[in-house]
Structure 1
Amino acid sequence: METAGAPPHGTRPRNRRELIIAAAADLFHRNGYRQVSVSDVAGAVNVRPSALYRHFPGKARLLAVVVLAELQPFRDVVADRPLDGMLPDLVRAALDHPRLGVLWQREARALPADEHAMIRDELDALNGHLASALLAARPALDPSDAELLAWTGWAVLQIVGHHSVELPKGEYASLLEKLVRTVFAATPSPDLPQPEAVQGFAPQARRERLLAAAVPLFAAHGYNGISMEDIGAAAGISGPSVYHHFRSKQELLYTALVRSDEWLRHDMMRALAAASNAEDALRRLSDSYVDFAVDHITFIDILLSEARHLSDDQRPRATQSQQEYLAEWLHLLREIRPEMPVMQARARVHAALAVINDFAFNRQLRQRPNAMPTIKHLAELILLGT
């Protein structure tokens, strides 16, 4: 299927490379990198695959260039500018270029290690510019706290590509800027003692061993990047024995998602049962999700990125479970702030969850002594701040 504005067959426009990048960005974002072939991208711009290879040596390099192209508008905005002047343009870039978060967090895992590291370095540099601007505006901040706040503000902006929020663009921009400013003005929590690392024990039952092995493999390589044989080998189970417990890789993924949903709901019910009022309930629910995401980040990863590989029968239950969980957050927030428009409340919930997820994915941030209490505090500010 060709994209709108694709050049006629047989022509050679001067901006062919840019057209290829734009078409690939759209296809990778909508369908997923592994589901898109070089022929698909070539067809979208009315060229043969051989013409595409004149510009890119392979699909992986094309994905790397796509992610860098989506990142470029943000790099242009943050370069050597004061924070107050930067923020409106940064929000505008997020609204005008919403695909970066999905392409980086969901699709870039398919990149070779060197390409992935190169893009990670670019993101670190962008965050460094944000942290420097924040330090210039708040010189009393500790540099490590400035970096944590900068990453959190960046995570707020990335909700645009992950979630559909039906707000007028101007109203959405105003809300995003307000949320980012709230984060950047926050006071980080004091350091807390770090808990001792626990090695833990592997389950003995073969079915549980397969589940325990599958989840990190799905998270690291994606559903299409591993086989049942890979999972069996990681679990120490060889040959057809794997299929005695799960009929297919899809069934294994579904079971893992159902298991994580049950754990998450158990944590939610425990948080709600201990609450004294709606505000206390929302705070406890948010705190419990931080703990869950940090302890079970691979479950969060596959929930966000791999559920699309479920069957047509399985997918509705997974979607319904996510919607019901989000509805609990939204209900509590509306109980506390009944004057808040529904779509603004929904955007705040998505922003809080995005901040928590992004924090849980970032091992370097998690290791800081004050990181956990600070993220819990920031999530509360995003939800309930004025």
Structure 2
Amino acid sequence: MSTSGGRPRRSRSTAVRRRPADRRQQILDAAARAFSEGGYHAVRLDQIADDAGISAAALYRHFPNKYALFCETTSGLAERLAVAIAGVESDQPDPRTELSELLATIATTAIDNRRTGGLYRWESQYLDRSDAEPVRSVVITQHRRMRTQLIRIRPELSRADADLITSAMTSVVASPATHRASLPIRDAQTLLRDVAAGLVDVELPVPRLEPPAPAGLAPSAKREIILAESISLFAARGFHDVTIEEIGAASGVPASGVYRHFSGKAAILEAAFWRASDRTTACITDALAVSSTPREAIVELVRRYVEVWCGNRDLIMVYASEIGHLEPDRRTALRRQQRINVEEWTTWVVRSRPELGAARARYLVHAALAAISDLVRLDRSSEPARIGPLAQRILLGA
């Protein structure tokens, strides 16, 4: 075919396909979503390519391997946070104003990057030290700025108390990355900022000086031993790097003995997650059984939930970082039960504070659960009696 001027005209089927100018950014966005949802090892490059609408070969033209892609997505998230934090004027006369602005900025950044914000959970686990250092620097800088304002407000605080409260405030404003509950952006930002700022005035009990009580006796059943040893190994080294042979050796059985109880590593992981889900569900029943008012129910829910997770620190670390290794239908079933539990908590928050409404109460439940998870996971010395008051304040207010 030709045009009236004699130049050839390309048919629709032979037209040149122009590469989008933002192809690299499309790949990074798809990768950030995948890594945020599933961690590092569970994500495949062909999955990222499909999500970006390109072939795997086209992806390799931009990134040589998965690690390079992970490294750039993680550093990109950190850079966005750094830019946002730098935009808040420092050394303001009123520390509460500066802290409020910092909290609002982090909340906005978390909401804007909601589908990719989960990356902050993986950077320390999968990045090489040299690549992790710039990311950690951003996190540390943000923490120190907030802690400085907190200490200006409450100079009597110990370093341990200031760090714990600052970490809890950060978890609250970063919590939108951990769930998909719906709330208008402006409402969500204001709610999270105000709730986080309310933690400034929480009085924490003095850390206990005596060592924690002994853990007690371990089960003798082989299945339980395998489950416990697997979780310890997964927490220490990551699901991907642990073999069935190593699980067997730690459990005192050959690899074939492991397979008599579980079909593979993923089956062990699923069993552990369901065990955790059952325990958190039982917390609800037990808490309600000893409560006579909605407020008492919230206090008991928090106390029992915190105690369960402080007693299962390895499991919460594995759950936070390795759930992506389960098949999608298995993850869906677990998350369905999580939503049921969240709705139960939400019901009692609304009954205690009807002015909130269900949507805002649900946001607070997710914020409280995120704070508990982060404080237990990031600080093995944290105690239930010191985490509980922070979570109660998030849910109950003053």
Structure 1 residue 384 corresponds to structure 2 residue 391: no
Aligned mate of 1:124, from 122, 140, 153: 140
Aligned mate of 2:28, from 6, 10, 21: 21
Summarize the alignment of residues 1-386 of structure 1 with structure 2, pairs less than 5 Å apart: 20-30=27-37, 32-38=39-45, 41=48, 44=52, 48-53=58-63, 58-79=65-86, 81=90, 82-99=98-115, 101-106=117-122, 109-112=125-128, 115-116=131-132, 119-196=135-212, 198=214, 200-311=216-327, 314-315=330-331, 317-363=333-379, 366-367=380-381, 372-385=384-397
**For 1:83 and 1:215, how far apart are their aligned partners in 2?**
38
TM-score by length of 2: 0.80
- Summarize the Cα distance change of 1:101–1:301 in structure 2 as closer, same or farther, 3 Å threshold: farther
Residues 134 and 184, structure 1, Cα contact 8 Å, conserved in 2:
yes
- Summarize the Cα distance change of 1:114–1:207 in structure 2 as closer, same or farther, 3 Å threshold: farther
Over 6 Å off, 4+ runs: none
Moved more, 218-227 or 292-301: 218-227
TM superposition shift of 1:358 = 0.5
Moved more, 263-272 or 165-174: 263-272
- Summarize the Cα distance change of 1:324–1:251 in structure 2 as closer, same or farther, 3 Å threshold: same
The answer for the alignment partner of 1:3 in structure 2 is: none
TM superposition shift of 1:346 = 0.3
TM superposition shift of 1:148 = 1.7
Residues 348 and 382, structure 1, Cα contact 8 Å, conserved in 2:
yes
**For 2:384 and 2:267, how far apart are their aligned partners in 1?**
34
SS at match of 2:205: coil
- Summarize the Cα distance change of 1:146–1:38 in structure 2 as closer, same or farther, 3 Å threshold: same
Residues 75 and 134, structure 2, Cα contact 8 Å, conserved in 1:
no
TM superposition shift of 1:260 = 2.3
Residues 244 and 265, structure 2, Cα contact 8 Å, conserved in 1:
yes
Residues 63 and 108, structure 1, Cα contact 8 Å, conserved in 2:
no
**For 1:73 and 1:185, how far apart are their aligned partners in 2?**
30
Moved more, 95-104 or 278-287: 95-104
- Summarize the Cα distance change of 1:362–1:307 in structure 2 as closer, same or farther, 3 Å threshold: closer
Residues 114 and 177, structure 2, Cα contact 8 Å, conserved in 1:
yes
SS at match of 1:145: helix
Number of equivalences: 371
* Identity level (%): 29
TM superposition shift of 1:132 = 1.4
Residues 23 and 45, structure 1, Cα contact 8 Å, conserved in 2:
no
- Summarize the Cα distance change of 1:226–1:358 in structure 2 as closer, same or farther, 3 Å threshold: same
User: 1:84-122 CA deviation, whole Å, 9 max, x = no partner?
Assistant: 443333322222122454112257633346545664454
Structure with the greater relative contact order (CA < 8 A, sep ≥ 6): 1 or 2?
2
**For 2:208 and 2:43, how far apart are their aligned partners in 1?**
46
Residues 189 and 373, structure 1, Cα contact 8 Å, conserved in 2:
yes
- Summarize the Cα distance change of 1:110–1:151 in structure 2 as closer, same or farther, 3 Å threshold: same
**For 2:26 and 2:285, how far apart are their aligned partners in 1?**
50
Amino acid across the alignment from 1:292: V
Amino acid across the alignment from 1:141: L
Amino acid across the alignment from 1:74: L
The answer for the alignment partner of 2:93 in structure 1 is: none
**For 1:335 and 1:182, how far apart are their aligned partners in 2?**
21
Amino acid across the alignment from 1:64: C
SS at match of 1:26: helix
Unmatched 5+ stretches in structure 2: 1-15, 91-97
TM-score by length of 1: 0.83
**For 1:156 and 1:271, how far apart are their aligned partners in 2?**
23
TM superposition shift of 1:51 = 2.6
Residues 70 and 99, structure 1, Cα contact 8 Å, conserved in 2:
no
Residues 207 and 386, structure 2, Cα contact 8 Å, conserved in 1:
no
**For 1:11 and 1:312, how far apart are their aligned partners in 2?**
32
- Summarize the Cα distance change of 1:206–1:69 in structure 2 as closer, same or farther, 3 Å threshold: same
Amino acid across the alignment from 2:83: D
**For 2:311 and 2:17, how far apart are their aligned partners in 1?**
52
**For 2:111 and 2:330, how far apart are their aligned partners in 1?**
32
- Summarize the Cα distance change of 1:280–1:42 in structure 2 as closer, same or farther, 3 Å threshold: closer
TM superposition shift of 1:63 = 1.5
Q: Which has the larger radius of gyration?
A: 2
User: 1:23-68 CA deviation, whole Å, 9 max, x = no partner?
Assistant: 4223323554334344555673857354324xxx642243133222
**For 1:316 and 1:77, how far apart are their aligned partners in 2?**
34
Residues 91 and 173, structure 1, Cα contact 8 Å, conserved in 2:
yes
